Amino acid sequence: MTPQAAYDELIKKCKEISVLGSAASILHWDQETYMPKNGVGHRSEQIGLIARMCHEQFVDPKIGELISAAEDSDLTKDPESEAAANLREIRHAYDKETKLPKDLVEALAKTTAQATPAWAEARKKSDFSEFLPWFEKVLDLTLQKAEAFGYEGEPYNALLDIYEPGATVEQVETAFDGLRKELVPLVQAIADARKRPDESIVTRSFDVDKQKIFGESVAAAMGYDFNAGRLDITTHPFCTGIGPGDTRILTRYNPNRLNDALFGTMHEAGHALYEMGLEKEKHFGTPMGESVSLGIHESQSRMWENQVGRSKDFWVYFLPQAQRIFRESLGDVSLDDFYGAINTVKPSYIRVEADEATYNLHIMLRFELERAMTKKEIKPKDMAGEWNKRFKEYLGIEVDKDANGVLQDVHWSSGLIGYFPTYALGNLYAAQFFAQAKKDLPGLQEDFQHGNFSRLLDWLRKNIHHHGQRYRANVLCEKVTGEPLSHKPLMDYMKAKYGEIYGI
Amino acid sequence: MTPQAAYDELIKKCKEISVLGSAASILHWDQETYMPKNGVGHRSEQIGLIARMCHEQFVDPKIGELISAAEDSDLTKDPESEAAANLREIRHAYDKETKLPKDLVEALAKTTAQATPAWAEARKKSDFSEFLPWFEKVLDLTLQKAEAFGYEGEPYNALLDIYEPGATVEQVETAFDGLRKELVPLVQAIADARKRPDESIVTRSFDVDKQKIFGESVAAAMGYDFNAGRLDITTHPFCTGIGPGDTRILTRYNPNRLNDALFGTMHEAGHALYEMGLEKEKHFGTPMGESVSLGIHESQSRMWENQVGRSKDFWVYFLPQAQRIFRESLGDVSLDDFYGAINTVKPSYIRVEADEATYNLHIMLRFELERAMTKKEIKPKDMAGEWNKRFKEYLGIEVDKDANGVLQDVHWSSGLIGYFPTYALGNLYAAQFFAQAKKDLPGLQEDFQHGNFSRLLDWLRKNIHHHGQRYRANVLCEKVTGEPLSHKPLMDYMKAKYGEIYGI
């Protein structure tokens, strides 16, 4: 078999596995939207079966043989070629999936299936000690997973690599350290500022049907194509790229808060624009048709949510529209007051409710604790105490109970250790990309004042989306911005923004 | 391997194939409801792949070996036992699926994929000659399929057996002949009757949202469980049983006709009650958890739609409710007038719009033509002429154009020859079962006057639903009613009903 023939066969198999896997995406979407409640048992059987079939087909030794037959050949001579990128990333995924012993996969599945309801119960009672035995088991199995994958330096690198391929603990640490040094004082200065926006403007009454119409008009203006997607309601908002021509977003509405669904919709539409910008017609089911990493994915959602959606230029155009739709609640509001209201900074316990500035502190805290735990510098049983200590240090408030602290997120109970950093990496990449886009596209933010986002979207498509996984995240960052990832663009952006709003 | 071990392994495999296949049911449901339009290409890849995988897994020689190892054993000693029924029907399906040469399967798939749009185009132009070459090809391949399956008597038996296992052309002919002899004169008498209901009552204005609420309340009263299902809007209404706890119904609304969505919803809910009544928790994925045949399935939908929904007793309870909801359109209507309006008989061209009485004539016409065609007594090129001739004879009206005649249904273009009779078999079984239910449950129709359908549903569950495929349709009919299928119960029912309404 020639390398080319092996490559073609490999790509065919990968595409087929992805087509099957994409059926599970619809099953999941349906589960979170329209599925009748008694369907849940059968649904988990369907999703479980498809996941198992995809896994079995992918770890088939035949796949390994095809990779081997193709990878050391002319096909990979140019490391930036489609074939080279596909082979590099398929190899990476194949090695990962085949390295895990079956016993460990089953133990993880079984343990997390029990740990998640145990966590939910413990959170309800706000009793960390109840979750602790499960937490210890999950950590133990996760460390075994890291050993099975192998790593340089410390185990956390193996975990990080699952969600952010190629990223290292040192890179993350450097970026986070730089950020922490400037962000903690900024948040403190904001807390001490005399000038304060009035957040209550966006906590008036906002009819849910009208919110949906407004959210859809914003998403459409961003470039979200409703012929290739749709917006539905769910409990935990997400975006799902089913396949070519089908990328769906979901949100939830709060009739007494405009921000939640509005910026939630922009966030998910940002993810969706990335999915829609991948060349799926050609590359679906192969790395060249897939997103780079969770961090890069999050950079797209956060850029649209924050750099675009929370900018004053954006609201020059959209506030008058919002005022026509929500006349009673917004009719009397000035642009500056509205802009302040949607950019209020207020340290709070819960990550998912955090504002743009404090959010990253929530993440850094988790990263540090996770890392220390995988290095056995902190024991699970001491996590609640450590959490509360650092929380006070970074955000200036005392955690009142475990449910508002160490027990708040589902991630650890479901085995996602090493995942959190990607949220903050997304914010860092977003700021760095956006700073570059502004340089490359003079007058970009004036476009926003006219509801025009096409130059930004085209720039993102050309520089990021179209590449699929041609480049790893750190390489992509350097290709696009000429610099490695840094905390500076995000801090510059935040200092300028909050400097104006809080008069500091 | 013991017969029991082989049986257990076989059942496990069948269940797994069904779980996978049920993912395609959701993909199809989504395609007909919420899928964005650009998703259609990927969707057909997903459904095609899953269908191919299910087929490949089922025709695996290993399945044949397991059947053989189990079927001639103590397991089948009692032919009505679960194991015997499962083995009988799995054998039947396995033989069918393995008998078709791969070339023929592909030729049929390819030809019908092209014939269907060709038919749609021909219908649009009302030009039968444009569809004719495709019709000839489909018929030729379908006859090859009949040969591959094998049959006693004539090829039509092989085709009928696909949709109505165990039914024979003689049985159908006997029932249809009896029906035709009495039904044609009845329809003629109705056409000549002086007393005529005023159909315009149900063609007033009916708000679509209110129709949905009313339809849901009727379905719920029937016993449709909205925790295990939902009602959505689609172009071509259907019911889909996804799996345990998830059976969905779909309808469409006409703001100027109450009947369409109302009786459509009852029809689909009737199908759904059958699906919900199968013992899927235990038997999903095996014949014991599946419906007997298309004819028996249709008997359940038609009984709820017609014997229940178009009865006067039903409207004793529901007309006052409908009047509260549709005050402007129905406020002034008497029970007798409403009952007449929903039971108007009027010969018309289009099967799917036909009333309860003339509907069966549409079916009989198709059965006769299909059968003659498979016996080569009629050539495809003569079908339009033959159609029009018989249509005049049975329904008393001249067909004005092919689009209103031989071109109206999609079935033939997609290879469904032998399918039509199941619609009329459904009506015959419905009437015969309902007559028995009335005998077994004194005062049953008085229950309807109080919106109470639980005795009927319990009777259907006990006598029909719970059996799955334990009995073939004709055996089931004798078990339940003590008689083979006959046209008499349906004719008795119609004579009584239309006798009153039309004063004949």
pLDDT of A124: 96
Eight-class DSSP state of B376: T
Contacts of B214 (CB under 8 A, 6+ apart): B262, B321, B322, B325, B326
Residues of chain A with a CB closer than 8 angstroms to some CB in chain B = 16, 19-20, 22-24, 26-27, 30, 34-43, 45-46, 49-50, 53, 225-230, 232, 242-246, 248, 284
> Is there a contact between A190 and A503 (Cβ–Cβ < 8 Å)?
no
pLDDT of A47: 94
Both tokens of B30, joined, read: 């989504």
- How far apart, in whole angstroms, are the C-alpha atoms of residue A70 and residue A75? 7
Contact across the interface for A46 and B22, Cβ inside 8 Å:
yes
- How far apart, in whole angstroms, are the C-alpha atoms of residue A154 and residue B31? 47
pLDDT of B269: 98
Contacts of A173 (CB under 8 A, 6+ apart): none
Cβ of B376: how many Cβ atoms within 10 Å? 10
Both tokens of B343, joined, read: 């039971």
The 3-state DSSP class for residue B409 equals: coil
Taking every pair of C-alpha atoms in chain B, what is the biggest distance, in angstroms? 73
Closest CA to B139 of B408, B414, B363: B414
pLDDT of A171: 95
- How far apart, in whole angstroms, are the C-alpha atoms of residue B332 and residue A278? 60
Contacts of A354 (CB under 8 A, 6+ apart): A348, A362
pLDDT of A187: 96
> Is there a contact between B391 and B348 (Cβ–Cβ < 8 Å)?
no
Strand partners, B246: B243
Strand partners, B254: B257
pLDDT averaged over chain B? Answer: 97
Cβ of B195: how many Cβ atoms within 10 Å? 11
pLDDT of A244: 97
Alpha-helical regions (H) of B375-469: 383-395, 421-440, 444-449, 454-463
- How far apart, in whole angstroms, are the C-alpha atoms of residue B386 and residue B128? 13
- How far apart, in whole angstroms, are the C-alpha atoms of residue A189 and residue A202? 24
Each residue of B12-44: b (16+ CB within 10 Å) or e?
A: ebbbbbbbbbbbbbbbbbbbbbbbbebbeebbe
> Is there a contact between A423 and A363 (Cβ–Cβ < 8 Å)?
yes
Rounded to a whole number, what is the distance in Å from the CA of B24 to chain A's nearest CA? Answer: 8
Average pLDDT over residues B381-398: 96
Residuewise pLDDT in 10s, chain A (504 residues): 999 999 999 999 999 999 999 999 999 999 999 999 999 999 999 999 999 999 999 999 999 999 999 999 999 999 999 999 999 999 999 999 999 998 999 999 999 999 999 999 999 999 999 999 999 999 999 999 999 999 999 999 999 999 999 999 999 999 999 999 999 999 999 999 999 999 999 999 999 999 999 999 999 999 999 999 999 999 999 999 999 999 999 999 999 999 999 999 999 999 999 999 999 999 999 999 999 999 999 999 999 999 999 999 999 999 999 999 999 999 999 999 999 999 999 999 999 999 999 999 999 999 999 999 999 999 999 999 999 999 999 999 999 999 999 999 999 999 999 999 999 999 999 999 999 999 999 999 999 999 999 999 999 999 999 999 999 999 999 999 999 999 999 999 999 999 999 999
- Indicate the CATH number for domain B199-348+429-502: 1.10.1370.30
Chain B residues whose beta carbon lies within 8 Å of the beta carbon of residue A17? none
Shortest CA distance from A230: residue in chain B:
B36
Q: At A305, which amino acid appears?
A: E
The 3-state DSSP class for residue B247 equals: strand
pLDDT of A17: 98
Closest partner residue to A244 among B30, B42, B284, by Cβ? B42
Closest CA to A156 of A421, A380, A410: A421
- How far apart, in whole angstroms, are the C-alpha atoms of residue A155 and residue A390? 23
State whether ipTM is beyond 0.90: yes
User: Which of A71, A268, A275, A298 does the annotation list as catalytic?
Assistant: A268
- How far apart, in whole angstroms, are the C-alpha atoms of residue A70 and residue A3? 4
- How far apart, in whole angstroms, are the C-alpha atoms of residue B160 and residue B142? 12
Closest CA to B304 of B196, B460, B195: B460
- How far apart, in whole angstroms, are the C-alpha atoms of residue A295 and residue A278? 16
- How far apart, in whole angstroms, are the C-alpha atoms of residue B274 and residue B278? 6
- How far apart, in whole angstroms, are the C-alpha atoms of residue A298 and residue A426? 4
Q: Percent of chain B at pLDDT above 70?
A: 100
Contact across the interface for B49 and A24, Cβ inside 8 Å:
no
Average pLDDT over residues B308-313: 98
Strand partners, B22: none
Closest CA to B94 of B59, B121, B68, B66: B59
Strand partners, B257: B254
* Active-site residue flag, B268: yes
- What are the backbone dihedrals phi and psi of residue B407, each rounded to the nearest 5 degrees, phi first? -95, 5
Average pLDDT over residues B71-77: 97
pLDDT of B452: 98
Tell me how many degrees the CA angle B457-B460-B466 measures, rounded to the nearest 5: 115
Both tokens of B469, joined, read: 């495929």
> Roughly what angle, to the nearest 10 degrees, separates helices A359-374 and A383-395?
150
> Is there a contact between A368 and A177 (Cβ–Cβ < 8 Å)?
no
Question: CA distances (Å), B138 to each of A465, B51, B134, B374, in order?
Answer: 45, 21, 6, 12
Closest partner residue to B37 among A22, A42, A227, by Cβ? A227
pLDDT of B146: 97
Residue of B47, B49, B50, B233 for testing the chain A interface, max A β-carbons within 10 Å: B49
Each residue of B310-334: b (16+ CB within 10 Å) or e?
A: bbbbbbbbbbeebeeebeebbeebe
Q: At B441, which amino acid appears?
A: L
Rounded to a whole number, what is the distance in Å from the CA of B53 to chain A's nearest CA? Answer: 10
What number of residues does chain B have? 504
Both tokens of A29, joined, read: 């979407």
Eight-class DSSP state of B198: -
Compute CA A374 distance to the chain's CA centroid, rounded to the nearest angstrom.
22
